[in-house]
Amino acid sequence: MSASQASLAEPRANRLRTWRSLWVQVHLYLGLFIGALLVVFGLTGSVLVFWQEIDDWLNPALLTVEAPPPGQDASRPLGELLAAALQAAPPDSRVTQFYGAPTRERVVAVYVEQPSKAWARIFVDPYRARVTGVRPYGANEWVPSSFMDGVFALHYTLFTGETGVTLAAIGALLLILSLLTGIVVWWPRTGQWRRAFVIRRPMASFRFLFDLHKTVSLYLCLVLGAVLLSGVDMNMNGPYVWMVQLFSPATRGPAQAPQSAPGPGLTPIGAEHAVALAAAAYPEGLLSGVAMPDDETGVYLVSRRQVPGLSAFWSERQVAVDQYSGAILEVRDPTTRRSAGETFLDWQWPLHSGQAFGLAGRLLVCLSGLACPVIYVTGVLMWWRKRNPNAVSN
């Protein structure tokens, strides 16, 4: 290298060192101040990947039933199941959601709401229309009484109610920034790519902490990034959809949601009739849920899962039905998406839960959550040892 080339290269190298030092500090303080959230989100998320199986195991009498022999296991009509739930509900309750049984041995769940905004989940045997139990929730209840609902509340709201919904989303965004700065800090400066992907030998204690922190974060960064980003969608859906629409204007959001057409003398057709109309047009798959209209312009949203021929990863269809006329207003499934933005949004929940890739996807999301304490603890230990170099020998 000539003297002139060396004189040009030195300032550039100094700038790179300065920028890297800045990113190291950003990554460090993000990790120290919000890294504990990664542990909370990771461990609770790992549990929630298998929440139904765990809840069934903990509460078999409440959530499981004896299914009739195959071929004789027809469920009772939807209207009968809803009527049974309302009989067990507090006075003046209205049904807001119905969730079908995910397996033959499981109950259906009916969500009801009172004028006070207190609500309840009522579990009903789908074959006998018998209520197996009720889980009530206060209007401003931050910490639910059941274990699995408590895990949900911690994961989704950090036990701080509606404020926590926003705080959790902001925390997820900062954790995504921490992941990105970690990639910048990790990026090999000398081209030694093989060493950048492994835990090196000999395993001196500080080097082992560094390599373990680096490799676990690196190999799981795509999964963690996808789960954190989709978590922002769960907690701040309105702004999230708005951002997607900036890049994909044809994407439909809440403002473009279908509406029923009320009129003098018109009355709602009822959930059972709406489900029958949706099934007549789109009979494939299993009934997974019905969302009831929330006001006079609301619609029935009828969802069916395991619809054949839609997608190898996520086969669900949602049909919007006018609550008065029964007309089908909109159909949402992988074949009716209008933009890349809609595809992106439809993938958020399947990716967040791992269900998009079946059991393998769920196990991968669970593993990434369990790895979060390793990432956080190794980062804190490295910071501590740098502050106290004589505390533990390297």
Q: CATH number for the domain including 69?
A: 3.10.450
Domain boundary among 145, 171, 204: 145
Same domain, 204 and 239: yes
Same domain, 65 and 119: yes
Q: Is residue 308 within 8 Å of 337, Cβ to Cβ? A: no
Domain boundary among 88, 112, 145: 145
The token pair that represents 33 in the structure block: 């101040």
Q: Is residue 365 within 8 Å of 357, Cβ to Cβ? A: no
Specify the pLDDT at position 24. Answer: 86
Give the type of residue at 381.
L
- Tally Cβ neighbours within 10 Å of residue 249: 9
Specify the pLDDT at position 10. Answer: 63
Q: Is residue 392 within 8 Å of 205, Cβ to Cβ? A: yes
Residue 354, burial from CB neighbour count under 10 angstroms (0-12, 13-18, 19+): buried
- CB environment 89-116: b (16+ within 10 A), e (fewer): bbeebebebbbbbbeeebbbbbbbbbee
Sign, CA dihedral 174-177-179-185, equals: negative
Same domain, 226 and 366: yes
Q: Report the distance separating Cα 341 and Cα 248, nearest Å.
A: 5
Specify the pLDDT at position 9. Answer: 56
Residue 298 lies in a domain: yes
Give the per-residue SS3 of 333-391: CCCCCCCHHHHHHHCHHHHHHCHHHHHHHHHHHHHHHHHHHHHHHHHHHHHHHHHCCCC
Same domain, 37 and 167: yes
Please report the DSSP string for 115-180 in residue order. Answer: TTS-EEEEEEETTTTEEEEEEEE-TT-SS-SSHHHHHHHHHHHTTSHHHHHHHHHHHHHHHHHHHH
Specify the pLDDT at position 193. Answer: 75
Residue 166 lies in a domain: yes
Same domain, 313 and 331: yes
- List the pLDDT tens digit at each of the 394 positions of the chain: 555 555 545 676 667 777 878 888 999 999 999 999 999 999 999 999 999 999 999 999 999 999 988 776 689 999 999 999 999 999 999 999 999 999 999 999 999 999 999 999 999 999 999 999 999 999 989 999 999 999 999 999 999 999 999 999 999 999 999 999 999 888 887 767 777 778 777 777 788 888 899 999 999 999 999 999 999 999 999 999 999 999 999 999 988 999 999 999 999 999 999 999 999 999 999 999 999 999 999 999 999 999 998 887 778 999 999 999 999 999 999 999 999 999 999 999 999 999 988 999 999 999 999 999 999 999 999 999 888 766 554 4
Same domain, 258 and 231: no
Which structural domain range is residue 26 located in? 14-51+157-245+357-387
Residue 73 lies in a domain: yes
The CA angle 337-340-344, to the nearest 5 degrees, is 90
Specify the pLDDT at position 164. Answer: 95
Q: Report the distance separating Cα 184 and Cα 249, nearest Å.
A: 32
Specify the pLDDT at position 394. Answer: 45
Same domain, 222 and 364: yes
User: Strand pairing partners for 320?
Assistant: 301, 330
Specify the pLDDT at position 391. Answer: 57
Same domain, 211 and 282: no
Residue 7 lies in a domain: no
Beta-carbon contacts of 24 under 8 Å, excluding residues fewer than 6 positions away, are: 185
Residue 8 lies in a domain: no
Residue 9 lies in a domain: no
Same domain, 161 and 301: no
The token pair that represents 99 in the structure block: 């969730």
Local structure of 108: helix, strand or coil: strand
Number of domains in the chain: 3
Same domain, 221 and 287: no
Same domain, 237 and 256: no
Residue 214 lies in a domain: yes
Same domain, 165 and 32: yes
Residue 321 lies in a domain: yes
- CB environment 253-290: b (16+ within 10 A), e (fewer): beeeebebeeeeeeebbbbebbbbbbeeebeebebbbb
